[in-house]
Amino acid sequence: MSSVVKVSAIASYLPEKVLTNTDLEKILDTSDKWIVQRTGISERRIAVNESVSKMASLVAQKLLKKSGLSGKDINLIIVSSMTPDGTSPTAAAFVKDNISANNAFGFDVNSACTGFVYALSIGEKFARNPDYKNVLVIASEQNSKYLNWTDRTTSVLFGDGAGGVLLQRSSDKNDVESFLGEQMDIKYDKAITNAMLKDSNELPTNKIIPISTLKMDGRKVFEFVVTKVPQNINTLLEKTHTPINSVDKLILHQANKRLLPLIEKEINTVGVYTPCDIQKYGNTSSASIPILLDSVYNGQDADDTVILSGFGGGLSIGSMLLHLKGRF
């Protein structure tokens, strides 16, 4: 019998410090009205006392508590982050230490805002193997440290936070079902970058720079999302012979509230609920999907077919079809 994998717990952590649009009006040439109308964001959280590893560890602790497991039950820890505290030790190594997961190994994954869905797809492949009974997949982001706080076109968009899930093997038929990843040619454009790119070729320069801030050509990325993300989701539905009317929820990366109805329109989502929490947290890059899952399902009994779709730097897209069953 081929084994399948289920999501058995969901958790998130949001830093306490709230930065409102009104706060931003004091330091930037912007307004609450512009930010709300163009993005749907009213406020975001900023990690002042929390690192990426700490937020990921707090999520791991919540997942253990919710599932009644202890650290020694965990076999694998995968952390997605585009804003890690450093390159080594990995955030996964810190999580292992903080939850005393003595029987686990772990590693980090980075594919910008798409990272969580890619990490989930990797975790699912491990969790099919009986040697990996309990797999933690967590996304944790401290975008605030990579923002240029004098650039109103990017700094108003992002926030910090973390979220994650516990994966286990399941006897049900259709849990974590299928995944479709896609990466645009890097020449597609350099619409989101914090690498120093030369004009003449695509490889980053070897100039020594401390940390470069995030730059984004918002309009180009908007066009990319509206055309390519629905195509990716439609292909996933076709490949899995899943009619859209059998999907209960579409959990999209929270980049801009205006994107949601445009994506919905392209995939004809009549009767599909597309939740949104960007007004409270802004764009938390790869953490936005598990944070939204926790906003929607925390304490709820679920029996839902769900599509997750992440998109962003690379430019990359990852969509996943899964079934969420049980109390989260």
Active centre residues (catalytic): 113, 253, 283
Q: How far is the CB of 161 from ligand COA (least distance, A)?
A: 14
Q: How far is the CB of 158 from ligand COA (least distance, A)?
A: 8
CA distances to 93, 136, 286 from 108, rounded to whole Å, are 9, 12, 12
By beta-carbon proximity to ligand COA, the closer residue of 5 and 120 is 120
- C-alpha closest to that of 81 among 8, 10, 11, 146: 146
Q: How far is the CB of 78 from ligand COA (least distance, A)?
A: 21
By beta-carbon proximity to ligand COA, the closer residue of 113 and 147 is 113
CB 186 within 8 A of CB 202: yes
Contact set for ligand COA, span 191-230 (CB under 6 A): 218-219, 221-222, 225
Q: Does 30 bind ligand COA (CB under 6 A)?
A: yes
- How far is C-alpha 43 from the geometric centre of its chain's CA atoms? 18
Q: Does 34 bind ligand COA (CB under 6 A)?
A: yes
Among 21, 39, 121, 134, binds ligand COA (CB under 6 A): 39
State the Cα–Cα distance between residues 27 and 241, nearest whole angstrom: 51
The pair of structure tokens assigned to 136 is 């933690």
State the Cα–Cα distance between residues 314 and 147, nearest whole angstrom: 18
By beta-carbon proximity to ligand COA, the closer residue of 283 and 309 is 283
By beta-carbon proximity to ligand COA, the closer residue of 281 and 311 is 311
Contact set for ligand COA, span 261-300 (CB under 6 A): 283
Residue number with the smallest Cβ distance to ligand COA = 218
Residues 6+ apart with CB under 8 A from 272: 244, 245, 247, 248, 249, 250, 264
Contact set for ligand COA, span 63-82 (CB under 6 A): none
Among 312, 316, 321, 322, binds ligand COA (CB under 6 A): 312
Q: How far is the CB of 281 from ligand COA (least distance, A)?
A: 13
At residue 272, the 3 state secondary structure works out as coil
Among 17, 18, 38, 67, binds ligand COA (CB under 6 A): 38
Q: How far is the CB of 289 from ligand COA (least distance, A)?
A: 12
CB 115 within 8 A of CB 138: no
Q: Does 256 bind ligand COA (CB under 6 A)?
A: yes
Which string of DSSP letters, residue by residue, matches 190-219? --EE-S-B-SSSSSBP----S-PPPEE-HH
Q: Does 113 bind ligand COA (CB under 6 A)?
A: yes
Q: What are the two backbone dihedrals, phi and then psi, of residue 44, each rounded to the nearest 5 degrees?
A: -145, 165
- C-alpha closest to that of 157 among 146, 167, 168: 146
State the Cα–Cα distance between residues 51 and 65, nearest whole angstrom: 21
Among 32-40, 179-187, 201-209, 240-248, the segment contacting ligand COA (CB under 6 A): 32-40
Binding site for ligand COA (CB under 6 A): 30, 34-35, 38-39, 113, 152-153, 156, 218-219, 221-222, 225, 255-256, 283, 311-312
